[in-house]
Amino acid sequence: MELKTIKISVLVQVPANATDEQVSDFVDAKFGECTGSCTQLTPDNPCLSEYEIEQADWSLAS
């Protein structure tokens, strides 16, 4: 099967008090290729319960 590559852009608001590590964990779990244990965010991650997707779109990658 032939595949094509797309580029996905997602604009997300997360809590201002989230650390860089918490945001990275959130992105990996919600939007990345994580499987298994890394899909489980720690319960104290503020991004877990309070985020808003502002915009999402995609295009063919060049």
- Average pLDDT of the residues in 1-15: 94
pLDDT band with cut points at 50, 70 and 90 for residue 4: very high
Q: How far apart are CA 45 and CA 47, in angstroms?
A: 5
Please report how many Cα atoms fall inside a 13 Å half-sphere around the Cα of residue 51, on the Cβ side. 18
Query: What is the rounded CA–CA span in Å between residue 38 and residue 9?
Result: 22
33: pLDDT strictly greater than 80: no
CA–CA distance, 11 with 51 (Å, rounded to integer)? 11
Dihedral pair phi/psi, residue 60, rounded to 5°: -65, 135
Confidence of residue 38 (pLDDT cuts 50, 70, 90): low
Amino acid 28: pLDDT: 86
